[in-house]
Structure 1
């Protein structure tokens, strides 16, 4: 099994693998180009994002700066907006539904590191996917941790740290995030 296959399947993998290193370098090249574009360069922006992401279902707008690990593991629905400074660490799949809006400085992370210090210091990693349903709004400076699944119509309050999954139709907030209100 390749290191890429291990990464995608959630197993321990070596991120210094040659293919993974090339994939990250390509993502950094594309995001650097994207981050230098202006709003008026719509077709160039779409082409870059189409080359970067695994799948785009429709209209997406991402304000620079945007950064990710691989890009190919990010799948985005229609009518998607991301404000400034978003980081998506997509070592595992990040699936985002239709009509989702992400505030500034949001982090969505799939990357995990071993708890054991000897194993962690060896450089190996593992990853857990993140799924965000349809019609979600994630407030500025929120963090979505590995393995989280957010149902449809979820609102994440600004500054929240989401460490577990939440069902449809809730507002969550805090550190760690908890249900504040049902919608």
Structure 2
């Protein structure tokens, strides 16, 4: 099994492997091109975003700066809006539903490393998918950690660190994020 095969299978892999590095280098180049376009040419910026992402629905709006590990593992639905400085470490799949708004300076991580010093010295990593439902608003400076699923109709308050799954129809806040309100419509 190659390191990319291990990564795809959800196993521990060597993140310094040439195949993994090439995947990240491609993403870095495309993100640099996206970020260089700037807001003055939204048509070109949207076209470049579509080149980076694995899939995107209608009404895609992404602001620079945007950075990712792969890009092809990111799938966003219709009416997706991200503000400035979004980072998605998409070594594993990141699936984002329809009508999702992401505030500035948000980080979404799918990669984790061993707790053992030896495992970290051996350059091991493992990916855990992140799923974000429909009608979600993620406030500024939120961090979403590997393996988290966020339900539908959720508000994640600014500054929250989401370390566990979030049910539908709630507001979560804090470090770590906890449900602070149920939403009814």
TM over 0.5: yes
Please name the residue that 1:104 is paired with. Answer: 104
Range that drifts further, 22-31 or 40-49:
40-49
Find the residue that maps to 1:125 and give its secondary structure: strand
Structure 2 segments unaligned to the other structure (5+ residues): none
Aligned residues: 183
Task: Look up the match of 1:56.
Answer: 56
Deviates more, 1:13-22 or 1:118-127: 13-22
Report the 3-state secondary structure (helix = DSSP H, G, I; strand = E; otherwise coil) of the residue aligned with 1:126: strand
Which residues of 2 match residues 33-182 of structure 1 at below 5 A? Answer: 33-182=33-182
Judge which range, 97-106 or 45-54, deviates more. 45-54
For residue 137 of structure 1, report the CA deviation from its aligned partner: 0.4
Q: Aligned partners of 2:47 and 2:86: how far apart in 1?
A: 19
Unpaired runs of 5+ in structure 1?
A: none
Give the aligned CA root-mean-square deviation in angstroms.
Answer: 1.1
Matched-pair contact (CA < 8 Å) for 1:27–1:52: yes
1:8–1:93 contact (8 Å) kept in structure 2:
no
Cα offset, 1:66, TM superposition: 0.8
State the Cα distance separating 1:42 from its structure 2 match: 2.8
* TM-score, normalised by the number of residues in structure 1: 0.96
* 1:77-136 Cα shifts (integer Å, max 9, x gaps): 010111111110001000000000001101000010000111111111001000000000
1:180 and 1:145 mapped to 2: Cα distance? Answer: 19
User: What is aligned with 1:25?
Assistant: 25
Q: For residues 161 and 127 of structure 1, what CA distance do their matches in structure 2 show? A: 18
Shift of 1:15: 1.6
Distance (Å, rounded) in 1 between the aligned partners of 2:75 and 2:57: 8
Runs of 4+ in structure 1 displaced over 4 angstroms? none
Larger deviation, residues 140-149 vs 52-61: 52-61
Bigger drift between 43-52 and 81-90 goes to 43-52
